[in-house]
Structure 1
């Protein structure tokens, strides 16, 4: 079944790329606003190997594009990156943080805990995590990238005038979505970077020479305790569960990746690449929203991005740092802003189209359940409690706890019935999985698909 699905996804990747190549290329660059600032800062601090990060993240881009068939991003673990930059981690400390998070995620995946989390966590809480992550990106764009700029400073090629122009251009693409916005902005940013940094910043040929890293026990303790453990809730909620929900919302015509497969993907990326000094990475709902916003509709987009990264990592590597450091913050800020708003938009479907509102009708079809006014307000309140906790403390875990407490308060006496329903749903899912695995031919698999 896995090979059959990959073959179908490959056919879709090829068809989408042929029909709209510029949109796929543009969409592949949509997550640069998150990737570039963190990757550059870590490389400058010597907390990661830039060349190795480009090579391995490129490999993971290609792998996820083939295996999942959607524009699933490969982006930095933000909590780990923030601590590593602030504390000037060594490479050994940084990869130790990635090992810790990925080790827990791998255990959650193979034991079925991730699937259990998906059934236990109510949709309004997941939506709150998604919207909160989107608004966090908006705030990050303003505070870190746009606010430090003046109208003519820090230089004539990176200031608020350039940011305003990029924003107006972004508004124009709302009416003309076929314009490859991210591709145009990326190329413009590269030209401006060269002008800002000067000819000496041009990358030189440096063939990749990989080396391995074995963390000492003190380095492992530092990375695990100071950064790795704090990344676990963020990765579990935003990089796995929220990604699965968002892919279903944005790309309903494609198979939704299960949380187990996404979790194993996150774990393997770091448990392999970390030994060579690669940046700790994950998938993320913000990156998926960004790449979708700028035109990506299939895995072909990130396969292209992956090939580009591998070429850069193999032949230029660390020599790219000077050029990338000069990349205009005004342009990056607008791209991050657009990505955040795209992710925040998913909250609109909370009471109209959310997955927990669909139920099987008498004719074996699916219809949406009507939501009463009282339940509607409860769902909105839970979602906004989640958003409020996340933004107030800048922590997904706090937002999650706030949302769950709010939801439990509203449910009250119904809590036991809800738990029983989750258990029955879980058992039903296991039975379906056993039936699926019992299929021995493609025809039987397709029959099971048509019945579900």
Structure 2
């Protein structure tokens, strides 16, 4: 919420010491009331820069969101309808607060434990989410998160982003090459067929289409500069064709194609769909569930949330939106904590922000809070209209197409590490990435990176 407060403080006049009180600002114009300022901020944060671009950007995070939520729904009977309703509300609120495509993703470490452990059911999942959210809330409110954010070297953060991006990309390639069963932890079912409604040809065609439309994911300024350099040797017709192609909502079209193919694969699923929201009930959490959730869920999840959901998100947002005021780590930590301290009591999947989701939505055109607000409205509508029966549709969605969306999100996140110019920073970044990718996890990679960074600084002092 700090972004709204900062904006309000910016527009509010500050009385000058030893001067008579006044209700006017230095230009003798009355200061706008706080309500007007907040409404103006919300209007600016939710402004639609480009209708198709924001809609297209909303699809950029689904490659991560759908597989995890679907896996938990199939393996642990997670209430999909409740999760959609709460995450939809989270999307709308965070879009209004931050004014950028701030994602809402499932907590991956907790999800991984739940999928691989039969005794880690819904009560344990929710207990882990509540404990993680409570810890992040305390860190954000007390200001400790902002202190942590300032102390961590950028090269260490880039290593986390690079490892997470490459992990997403490798998982995406696995989705494309291998058949999957999300209800089981080791779900490779052999190589994927070339032909068919979920074949390799389909996935490769979707990937080629996105590359043709979006290129390497360059910004609008870079695209304009490139077009300016080529303008002398390019006729008006070719420029018009390029403009039309680049304006296509590639991710939205690919996702829509996946939905259509899902219904073609199993037309009878129409009879399995039931309308109406799923019942929302308070989850009963036993003492054993609290203990198991904290030990097996919160402890491995908390370092990942600190690094990727808060610190890496703030660093990446300053990279992607340099003209905007940088979000404070404290405010991001508070919003993550609040989401889980509310929704997990009702059975909604523990959620966080994520640098990968932000990169993915930016990659496909998301530039404002309207991007995630649109996605939130869709989730909310689906949760209220279809409820848990939506899993019938998602079960038939081509996994190879999901892999393509996840691939571009992962690459966009990894590309953020390209600003490590010095060999020393690149060395630290690659140490963090290497340790994180071999199965040690982001927490161990982070510790190794900090140690290497400090050793290099001590070496310089001793030289």
- Residue pair 2:178, 2:192 contacting (<8 A) in 1 also: no
Distance 1:57 1:79, change over 3 A: same
Partner of 1:307, secondary structure, is helix
Q: CA deviation at 1:198?
A: 2.4
Equivalent residue in structure 2 for 1:126, among 132, 138, 157: 157
Q: CA deviation at 1:45?
A: 2.2
For 1:47 and 1:250, the matched residues in 2 are separated by: 37
1:101-120 pair list within 5 angstroms = 101-120=132-151
Equivalent residue in structure 2 for 1:261, among 331, 349, 353: 331
For 2:461 and 2:252, the matched residues in 1 are separated by: 49
Q: Which moved more, 1:301-310 or 1:104-113?
A: 104-113
Equivalent residue in structure 2 for 1:172, among 190, 205, 212: 212
For 2:461 and 2:111, the matched residues in 1 are separated by: 38
Q: CA deviation at 1:70?
A: 0.7
Larger RCO: 1 or 2 (CA < 8 Å, sep 6+) = 2
Q: CA deviation at 1:199?
A: 2.6
Counterpart position of 1:12: 44
Counterpart position of 2:389: 319
Q: Which moved more, 1:125-134 or 1:53-62?
A: 125-134
Q: CA deviation at 1:268?
A: 0.6
Distance 1:7 1:384, change over 3 A: farther
Segments of 5+ residues of structure 1 without an aligned counterpart are 352-375, 417-452
For 2:41 and 2:395, the matched residues in 1 are separated by: 37
Equivalent residue in structure 2 for 1:403, among 449, 454, 457: 449
Q: CA deviation at 1:306?
A: 0.6
Deviations 1:307-355 (A, max 9, x none): 111111112111111110111111111111101110111111223xxxx
1:389 aligns with 2:435: yes
1:58-77 pair list within 5 angstroms = 58-77=88-107
1:56 aligns with 2:86: yes
Equivalent residue in structure 2 for 1:194, among 250, 263, 266: 263
- Residue pair 1:72, 1:302 contacting (<8 A) in 2 also: yes
For 1:150 and 1:133, the matched residues in 2 are separated by: 25
Deviations 1:118-174 (A, max 9, x none): 111111101111111111101111234533474636x71001111110111121023
Distance 1:9 1:342, change over 3 A: farther
Deviations 1:191-223 (A, max 9, x none): 011112323246321233211112001111111
For 1:386 and 1:47, the matched residues in 2 are separated by: 36
Counterpart position of 1:302: 372
For 1:265 and 1:151, the matched residues in 2 are separated by: 40
For 1:389 and 1:8, the matched residues in 2 are separated by: 46
Q: Which has the larger radius of gyration?
A: 2
Counterpart position of 2:110: 80
Q: CA deviation at 1:61?
A: 0.3
Distance 1:66 1:6, change over 3 A: farther
Equivalent residue in structure 2 for 1:378, among 419, 424, 442: 424
Counterpart position of 1:333: 403
TM-score, structure 1 normalization:
0.82
Counterpart position of 1:152: 193
Q: CA deviation at 1:247?
A: 0.5
1:139 aligns with 2:170: yes
Segments of 5+ residues of structure 2 without an aligned counterpart are 9-36, 180-189, 216-244
For 1:52 and 1:14, the matched residues in 2 are separated by: 25
- Residue pair 1:146, 1:329 contacting (<8 A) in 2 also: no
Partner of 1:255, secondary structure, is coil
Q: CA deviation at 1:250?
A: 0.5
For 1:8 and 1:256, the matched residues in 2 are separated by: 19
Q: CA deviation at 1:377?
A: 1.2
